[in-house]
Amino acid sequence: MRILGVDPGSRLTGYGCIETAGGRLVSVTHGVIKLARTSGKQDTPLEVRLLSIYHGLSDVIEVTRPDVLVIERVFFAKNAVSALKLGQARGAAILTGMIHGLKIAEYSPSEVKQALVGQGHADKDQVARMVELIVGKQSFDTSDASDGMALAICHANNMRNPHAANSAAYAQALRSASGQRKKKGSSLAEALGLSAEKIAGKKRVTPDKMR
């Protein structure tokens, strides 16, 4: 199964695609769709940015052929105008997925952080590190791309996918957790036996060391 995670924005829309293969999660691709280009004092009109989301995501979908599109829920914005723009960006992304016949799943930022790190208030660096522990070292252009991939991983975890593993140790942790009827909401960090300090980099465990 292929899962495409999308972190929508009115200026940058991040995405990350993963695939379950042979008992592990594999990174397919990730990147950022740049929507706004300022020329002098004139900014790109919002309607043009929304069209860019459609064209950009359509290109990604046609290349990656995902089964489901996972998108971030709106949870807050600095002001009403920002909330409106973000909502429109989400709408464009969701509509793009529907046009291509994809299933749609939604998660709040806190749900994603809880699933990966075990803390609903984890920062973006912690999330990105956890993503790399699961799918291997990546070169993310911005946090929008790592957030997109985190959404995809969160959905795989929520599905209780037995193939969501990147190493024998990780696969064993998930099997053990399943045998104990792990509660819904348990994080991938907990399954790997990682503390918040390790994810933050104080005692970082790299993918190479896990194999």
Tens digit of pLDDT at every position of the chain (211 positions)? 999 999 998 889 999 999 987 768 899 999 999 987 666 667 889 999 999 999 999 999 999 999 999 998 876 667 788 888 889 999 999 999 999 999 999 998 888 988 888 877 788 888 888 898 888 888 888 899 999 999 999 998 887 544 433 434 444 443 444 444 344 445 666 655 555 555 555 433 333 333 3
Torsion angle in degrees (nearest 10) through CA of 36, 108, 110, 142: -20
Q: Residues 92, 53: contact at Cβ < 8 Å?
A: yes
Q: What is the pLDDT of residue 184?
A: 47
Q: Is-catalytic flag, 190? A: no
Q: What is the CATH number of the domain that holds 89?
A: 3.30.420.10
Q: What is the pLDDT of residue 170?
A: 41
Predicted model pTM:
0.74
Running DSSP on this structure, what letter comes out for residue 179? H
Of these residues, 19, 111, 132, 144, which one is catalytic? Answer: 144
Q: Is-catalytic flag, 43? A: no
Which among 194, 164, 167, 196 has a CA at the least distance from the CA of 178?
A: 164
- What is the extent of the structural domain holding 143? 2-210
Q: What is the pLDDT of residue 192?
A: 56
Q: Residues 113, 37: contact at Cβ < 8 Å?
A: no
Q: What is the pLDDT of residue 101?
A: 96
Q: Is-catalytic flag, 132? A: no
Of these residues, 72, 111, 132, 147, which one is catalytic? Answer: 72
Q: What angle do CA 54, 157, 148 make, to 5 degrees?
A: 30
Q: What is the pLDDT of residue 194?
A: 56
Q: What is the pLDDT of residue 160?
A: 57
Q: What is the pLDDT of residue 77?
A: 62
Please tell me the total count of domains within the chain.
1
